[in-house]
Chains A and B, each alone.
Chain A
Amino acid sequence: MAMLLGKKVGMTRLYDQEGRSVPVTVLQVGPCVVTQVKTVATDGYDAVQLGYEDVKPSRQTKPLIGHFAKAGTGPKRFVREMRLAEDLSGQFKVGETLTVGVFEGTQRVDVISTSKGKGFQGVMKRHHFGGFPASHGTERKHRAQGSIASHATNRGFSGRPKKGKRMAGHMGNIRVTTKNHKVMLIDQERGLLVVSGTVPGSNGTYCVVKTAKTPVKVATK
């Protein structure tokens, strides 16, 4: 299990051995500094805190600057924790730098990032509702959601909409995990990790890259 922090650079395509064109996302991951090692004894759980990308000291609070100084680095912009199995916390040292090399030999990765914000959206875009017909007498509700509740919503006789009823509202700009990206290429020199498919967020978005958690389901013929 490896994890690193990085940034989405952009997308392009690569050709695989069979000559097929594969859409890929280029990620710049690492170098990440281990800023803290948490153990059961001190914090109640085992984890490693990673920091990515320098930020001006004037942009950060003094307590944080002090926290990073303990690890022997300057302040970092993007900080996330990696949970560890109990016996692994001895493997990491505070102040240690991790680079893309940790993914060497990894087949697939999960990417966690913040999706593009879409603003306030209606139900057709946000939840893929069907809307109403364009004609046949439909008036002023072509993209409406229809009924949201009745007197007996789910026989509760409430008259109120059910909790969690899908409606219009803010869409995007949330944490999204995309799973099982194939690792296509690792460029140690530039710190690049090239993964298959699309990664949430716009170019320049910070992301967390982890070794894939769930195995890929093999389609049965």
Chain B
Amino acid sequence: MRTDLIDAVEATCLKKQVPYFEIGDTVDVVFKIKEGDKERTQVFTGTVIARKGRGINEMVTVRRVVGSEGVERIFPIHSPNVLDIEPVRSSRVRRAKLYFLRQRSGKSAKLRKRHSEHTAGS
């Protein structure tokens, strides 16, 4: 596969600046949604449990627990509808995919907080 040519095509649609965040971070994803003809922005807050794909196909999986129900949303990082991904808290994690969080609830689903350079929030 001539990926260099495909990369050149994808480059026309990529975001110039992708916000920096890491696996395990709690992030605010700001995205546009359409309701009929009206457009408004919505914020989805949760933990980044996976990031996969390359180029324009890069996706981020954000998980949050609402009530006692786990909710996961997958966002295409380069979609123009995803306006911002803002890290608010980072955690110490030892793997790239945090799928084990799906089996956990309550206190065991908590991630240890980490003080890192990139997260300004406390």
- Residues of chain A at the chain B interface (Cβ within 8 Å): 9-15, 19, 21, 24, 26, 28, 185, 187, 190, 192, 194, 203
* Nearest residue, chain B, Cβ from A17: B80
Q: Which of chain B's residues have a CB closer than 8 A to the CB of A187?
A: 8-9
Q: Which of chain A's residues have a CB closer than 8 A to the CB of B79?
A: 15, 19, 21
Q: How far is the CA of A12 from the CA of B4 in the complex (A)?
A: 12
Q: Which of chain B's residues have a CB closer than 8 A to the CB of A192?
A: 5, 8-9
**How many residues from B make CB contacts under 8 Å with A?**
19
Q: Which of B8, B9, B12, B78 has the most CB of A within 10 A?
A: B9
Tell whether, in the assembled complex, residue A12 and residue B6 are in contact, meaning their CB atoms are under 8 Å apart: yes
The listed residue (B13, B32, B81) touching A14 by CB distance below 8 A is B13
Q: Which of chain A's residues have a CB closer than 8 A to the CB of B10?
A: 12, 14
Determine whether B70 belongs to the interface, using a CB cutoff of 8 Å to chain A. no
If A15-B13, A19-B81 are given as contacts, then 19 extra A-B residue pairs at C-beta distance below 8 Å, sorted by A number, are: A9-B5, A10-B2, A10-B6, A11-B6, A12-B9, A12-B56, A12-B57, A14-B9, A14-B12, A19-B32, A19-B79, A21-B76, A21-B79, A26-B5, A26-B9, A185-B12, A187-B8, A187-B9, A203-B2
